[in-house]
Structure 1
Amino acid sequence: MDTQEYSVSTVLSSFSHCELPNLTDYSVLNKVDSEEFFFDPPLKLHEHLQSGPFILISSPGAVGKTTLAKHIAYKYHGLYWNTAAKRVSGTAFAGEVAHAVGIGKGQQQDLFYENLKSGKSFVVLDAFDEAALISQHEGIESFLEEIGSILRDSSGPSIILTARTEMAEFLLKTCQKYGFGITHYSIEYFHEASASEFIYQYLSYQKRNITAAQKTEIQKYIDHIASIIGNNQPRTFIGYAQVLRILARQVEDVLNSSDDLDSLRLSMKVNSSSHLIYSIIQELLLREQKKLDYLKDRILPHYKDPESIQVVKNLYSKDEQLLRLMSFITFNGAISVSDYDACSKLLQEDQKLYQEALNSWLPQHVFLQERTVMPIFKEYLLAETLLNPSLEIFSDVNDSSIRSQIKLPSRVFLDCYLAISKNTVQGDHIFYIDVAYLSQTTVNQKTLCDIGPLESDDIDDADADSNLYLTFTDSLTPNKPALQVRICQDSNKPIYLNRLENMSVNFDGRLILKCGLFSDHVSIRNSTIECDTLELAGSEIVCETYNAEENRIIIHSNVTRAPGCKIIVRGTKNVKIDIPPQKELKQLLYEFSAYWYSFDSISVSTSEHDAIEQFVYGLKKVLEQFKVDKYGDDPAKFKDKIDARCHTGVKSRVLNFLKDRNIVYEDDYVYKCSLHLMDEYGINRTAYIQQNCSNLSLAYNRYIEWFDQNIK
């Protein structure tokens, strides 16, 4: 991989002479008429698969792909296509081109294609992550196949694709599959030294002139934030576009208030990097509240009883601001004192004064630009509407707003949600946290999401199985979870999911698969489900695998299926389904009839071995009892607990193998797990939780040797 960083203008130098096509309709193939604020991000080259029509630009979520996509279309005279706006498939490109040039105008359509092939024109295809929720991976693949086939003899690139890191990998592999040339760049985080320049240019874009002294204060503020972050990857925070936009908006608000910029540092009460984005947003809201202090000072003498005095002091609080903002954007700019119940305790004349103040200040709120919520604050509002009881009435409104603009949650949402919820997640919000965490994934990094019990520090904790957690593990540190979030709900309540990608679900309870906010189907991809009861409540359940991926579904008790629920198996169809043997259950899931499998074989013939999938399943069931990811030393668990859970079938055989090889060894009344020998056998947490057979082949080969010596 090339470690050099490139500018956008260098990467797109061949696009400098492009001309905007003259179309009769720009509703899908958009003409970008105005330039938004743009700060040139560094790009890094990752792959160049022969010359061809595609350039792929990837990045973690909310790093600036859409801003870059529109900037490219505007500056270099190209067309912008939001692929998430409507479903795409294997005929979408030709169909939309025909519609854009005019139905029946075949000559103009041919000219459009010729200009793409020669590099005179280009199209930017944006938002593939969101598009996959509507069009599914099959639709995306056929869409790329169509475009690549039309432009196969291109002289150079003319189609720019943007996607988050994980979707980018799928786009790359699709192009490889069909032999299409593609060059892959990633958007890198800005360097720390660029942070202040980003803010200066943003203020210039907003037509704010700043002095040298003010620039010095801005740099001091950035240095102050860097000191709070410490050595914890400051570039991934200060160099994160969304954070820089929030900081720039914060500076702009201070300048608009005629305050000194040193107040930013002096007013910041946070001294930890934990939930720093949320803390900065809270500072913004507090500043907004203080803007009405003049009114409070004026009317406060009118009140004597403690309750009314407190009402006045709390005017324009955080909750009130959020409720008024939601009302303002929902009801087309309507502002009324009565929107907030506590204001009814104000005297009539004071209500009139407050109404005048609201009419003046609310449209100028720091969250708003041209009477709409700025994108950088929408994710914070989403977190608040999901968790704040006073905003619950707006949750459906926010849902429809999100559907109309489809943008998946990113790091801003994650930081804010976990700050509000105190590092817990509700059972029906897991999708949001999963997608938001995955948005941080970078090139050459894989992330596994694990839903299951987290053993307590007490090796004999009887309630350990009820401690359900959402655990994220990165491939770069497979034995050390990057984030663990407790699932906050009663043990008898189900878990709800509408998307399982690179996910392992393993708990004693009920799992419900149903369609959610962003998608009209449930996607299961490269994932494992193991639970007591599975309810298929979505209108469409898509079980898909690509390349070496595999889906595994293991149900111990019962399966139900809602009327009209479709089950579709797609892609390489590498699927294994293990359910109770009742005839009615197998009839209920007849679409899976070709994929029945038994992971926990009770016995094996002396002439046969356990398959590697069965071995890995047994390995997972044994080792998940130990907290191998939470100890520096060998973790321990009571012998009777392990023996009770692993006394039959492949689990028993794998346990005996691990004991024989001293990977699991006895120490008085406990078993301990040797982390050193796990490494020697190539066993790591990510591999066995995800049941990645290829990564555990060394351990399996050793198991076969042991099997031949001890079982046959």
Structure 2
Amino acid sequence: MLTLENFWLPLLGNATASPLKEVTGWFAKIPALSTFVEAPLALNDELTNGHDAREAKVLLISAPGAVGKSTLAKEIAARTGVVYIDLAIADAVGANTISGGLAKSGLFNDWSEQRTTLLIDGLDEARLRVTQEAFEAFLRDVASLCIDRHLPVIMFGRTGAVQDAWLVMESLVSVSVLEIGYYDLDTAIDFTCAQLENTREGSSHPEAERNAIALLLEKLRDETKSDGTTFSGYAPVLQAVAERVAKEPNPSALIASVEKGEKPVTLQTVVAAILERERSKLSSITFDDPALNNQLYTPDEQLLRLVARVIGGNQPSSMAMSSSDAKKYDAALSTWVPEHPFLNGRDQPSSAVFEAMILVTALLSGTTSETAVKTQLARGAAANPFLADFYYDAITRDGSRNVPPEHLGIVYSSIRARLAIGETANLTVEVDESASEEEALKADVEISVVKKGLVKGQLIQFSTDQVGTFYLGSHIEDVLMTAPLSRVEIGAGTEATLVAPVDIECGNLVINASKLVVEGPVGHRFGSVSLVADNYQGGIVSVPAVRNETTLSVIWPGARSHPWTNFASEVRVAKDARIEEALRRFRKFVIAFRSHSKGSLARLKDKLDHERMTKGTGQAVLDYLVKHEIIATDGTMYYLDPDRLGSETGATYADCVTKNFQAKTIAFIEKAIG
């Protein structure tokens, strides 16, 4: 790694300069930052052409947005004494920007005698303010001034601007390209502590604050571990952590709350900080209408522009402004958007977290929602693990807490993508049978998540609409869906996989695949899949492959024909309507249980005690199941004993899923309801 001590000071440490005459954007003395912590800096082998960085005439320093280019540039200038030029505020660049500036500033003699050199920051800002021809003329001017010098000129910019500069300059002068990396954990902690110290004077508990920062960063890295150090190595991310700790009067209490599983620093607040930082670039543009600085390039606008590049579609329309201002803004956008820190320079998200924010924006935008759904369904089990966080935050903030049926499968897949071995998640979609006609069009959604080391699982609840299409994708696991008015689509390719338990009852079922695989959950003895629909259509041409001890049951008109013949079932209806209703309650209680820790079948007690479950004959059935020790409770959870379920009722979990109730089961229910 190249550092101030081993690279910059030996290379530039003897630079001196006479006092400067005033030239906009040129500075002879830059104050050092008390909060400065070095990020990794390394040579880019691809663009160096074998040049030794210590012998190069021009050093191009590249990094994505928000990594800390300007911070490093100013610190180098402060520590070495070279002249710092900020192109974001300097005059527009052209053919004699540097040669003319050397004369205007009074630096020409110092330059000619090689007593000083220049550190030029803001290549990307300079590029957006001029034509490509003027920008290249500026670069050639710099190259011509460097040919016979031993002190290099250093130029900082985002990836695209640095690549453009290299293309122009590498044939004219020896050029080396260096890249700024992301902070590793130890350095990130140092940086965050320095930022914290900068927010207020002194601290009565610095050790506790450092411990809190370390813990928060570790948790954040755990959330984004698929990105390595990229996301949690961003300076704005670390600044957000510093701000969180600065607002906490008792850092020890913060540590305790984090260790309990709370998330005081979220992905949402981190992303917001980066977007706001990007928006601050507007200050480099002088608009005819100053009010535009507060109205343009908002976080929402940035995200919509990123959606257009990543997902497709039209860029959002800009607000009304003069032709002059529109021209300036369009020029800025042509650089800012392609080099946005959320992108990798190739119109693709630079991390899974940034991708999640872009996808959520696309899903919630009417013009791109359908395309976003299709692209995510095609990913199958390889869903984005952060999409659900941003999505749930968005629907909670707008107060709706309603997820369109088209999005539900994508959100659930995202949650499952975060699970470790031994952790579980399940999706339940149910309709209130006694609801009014209008409310009957709604459905309640519950996603239950059980994580390692947590006694109580996480319960995520919201609503959806029955009238619509539930796209569940090609990999479906642990789903209970009762939505008789809905359309459900399974699959998005050649093969669809159903991992038990899966129980789907709907109006119309579509399987968009030619092959169907049904299998049981890993490490558990129960595996039942039931598909019930008023109408079925699909492309399954071969007999479904049912693996292990899993059972598959299908019920719809024509189910006894190939390839479903071996799996077709019939719904047995009891002669007594009251018994029929009690059997439905019995079934709902049993199949409500899901895999919990150490292979047990469990459910939150509040779930089964809810009025929706206990209404009618439900309470009598539940009480009878508890009395016969088929269901037991520890106060917060109910647990199902499958052995007693079989011995007392004559039914298995699979029988309940497939509604295969025998005489012994019916007799048990008759006794339960008296």
What is the TM-score normalised by the length of structure 2? 0.51
Report if the CA contact (8 A) 1:474-1:482 is conserved. Answer: yes
Correspondence list, 1:2-21, <5 A: none
Alignment match, 1:251: 235
Residue 621, structure 1, aligned to residue 605, structure 2: no
The equivalent of 2:184 in structure 1 is: 198
Q: Which residue of 1 aligns with 2:124?
A: none
Aligned-pair Cα RMSD in Å:
5.7
Larger RCO (CA under 8 A, 6+ residues apart): 1
What pairs up with 1:72-471 in 2 under 5 angstroms?
A: 198-199=184-185, 213=194, 236-237=219-220, 239-242=222-225, 245=229, 248-251=232-235, 273=263, 276-295=266-285, 298-301=287-290, 309=291, 313-328=294-309, 339-343=315-319, 345-371=320-346, 372-376=348-352, 377-389=354-366, 392-393=367-368, 396=371, 408-422=382-396, 423-453=401-431, 463=439, 466-471=442-447
Aligned to 2:516: 542
Secondary structure at the counterpart of residue 278 of structure 1:
helix
Identify the range of structure 1 (422-431 vs 544-553) with the bigger mean alpha-carbon deviation: 544-553
Helix, strand or coil for the counterpart of 1:355? helix
What is the letter of the counterpart of residue 559 of structure 2?
K
**8 A contact 1:511–1:531 mirrored in 2:** no
The aligned counterpart of 2:546 is 570
Q: CA deviation at 1:597?
A: 4.2
**CA 480–590 in structure 1, closer or farther in 2 if over 3 Å, else same:** farther
CA offsets, 1:656-692, max 9 Å, x none? 775557649xxxxxxxxxxx983169996685xxxxx
Deviation of the 1:566 alpha carbon: 5.5
TM-fit CA distance, 1:340: 4.0
Letter in 2 for 1:571: R
Give the residue type in structure 2 aligned to 1:239: D
Match of 1:521 in 2: 495
Indicate yes or no: 2:642 matched with 1:696.
yes
1:305-364 Cα distance to aligned partner (Å, 9 max, x none):
xxxx4x552111123212333445679xx9xxx944224x22122223223433454444
Code of the residue aligned with 2:288 in structure 1: it is I
Max Rg structure: 2
Whether the 8 Å CA contact 1:470–1:485 is kept in 2: the answer is: yes
State the secondary structure of the residue aligned to 2:268: helix
- Which residue among 555, 559, 566 is the counterpart of 1:586? 559
> What's the CA shift for 1:420?
1.6
* Partner SS state of residue 563, structure 2: helix
1:481-496 aligned at under 5 Å gives the runs 482-489=458-465, 491-496=466-471
For the residues of structure 1 that align with 2:337 and 2:459, how far apart are their CA atoms? 37
Which string of whole-angstrom CA distances, capped at 9 and with x for unpartnered residues, describes residues 44-103 of structure 1?
xxxxxxxxxxxxxxxxxxxxxxxxxxxxxxxxxxxxxxxxxxxxxxxxxxxxxxxxxxxx
Deviation at 1:520? 3.8
> Structure 1 stretch 595-604 or stretch 559-568: which is displaced more?
595-604
- What is the letter of the counterpart of residue 559 of structure 1? N
CA separation of 1:445/1:322 partners in 2, compared to 1, >3 Å: closer, same or farther? closer
* Paired AA for residue 357 in structure 2: Y
Residue 466 of structure 1 deviates from its aligned partner by: 3.6
How far apart, CA to CA, are the structure 1 residues paired with 2:564 and 2:625?
Answer: 38
**Structure 2 vs 1, CA of residues 340 and 280 (structure 1 numbering), >3 Å: closer, same or farther?**
same
- SS of the counterpart of 1:590? coil
In structure 2, how many angstroms separate the alpha carbons of the residues matched to 1:254 and 1:263? 9
Q: Which amino acid aligns with 1:385?
A: A
5+ long unaligned stretches in structure 1:
1-33, 37-195, 204-208, 302-308, 605-614, 647-654, 665-675, 688-694
TM-score (norm 1): 0.49
Contact 1:473 1:686 in 2 (8 A): no
Letter in 1 for 2:566: A
Amino acid in structure 1 at the alignment position of 2:328: L
Whole-Å separation in 2 of the counterparts to 1:460 and 1:398: 31
User: In the alignment, what sits opposite 1:679?
Assistant: 632
SS in 2 for 1:287: helix
Distance 1:367 1:495 in 2: 30
Q: Which residue of 2 aligns with 1:508?
A: 484
Shift of 1:467: 3.4
Amino acid at match of 2:484: D
Per-residue CA shift, 1:593-630, capped at 9, x if unaligned?
Answer: 223445756389xxxxxxxxxx9986333578999736
Distance 2:207 2:187 in 1: 15
Percent sequence identity over matched residues? 13
- Give the aligned partner of residue 631 of structure 1: 606
1:575 CA drift (Å) = 2.1
Q: CA deviation at 1:366?
A: 2.2
Q: Helix, strand or coil for the counterpart of 1:526?
A: strand
Are the structure 2 counterparts of residues 320 and 253 from structure 1 closer, same or farther at C-alpha, using a change threshold of 3 Å? same
Identify the residue that residue 530 of structure 2 maps to in structure 1: 553
1:586 alignment partner AA: A
Give the counterpart letter for 1:250 in structure 2: Y
- Partner Cα separation in structure 1 for residue 307 and residue 372 of structure 2: 9
* Aligned position for 1:178: none
- The amino acid that maps onto 2:426 is L
In 2, Cα distance between equivalents of 1:315 and 1:475: 42
| Unpaired stretches in structure 2, ≥5 consecutive residues | 1-43, 47-181, 249-256, 577-581, 594-601, 651-663
Identify if the C-alpha distance between structure 1 residues 342 and 686 changes in structure 2 by more than 3 Å, giving closer, same or farther: farther
SS at match of 2:546: strand
CA contact (8 A) 1:515 1:521 kept: yes
CA contact (8 A) 2:546 2:552 kept: no
Q: Aligned to 1:291, what secondary structure does the other structure show?
A: helix
- Secondary structure of the residue aligned to 1:441 is coil
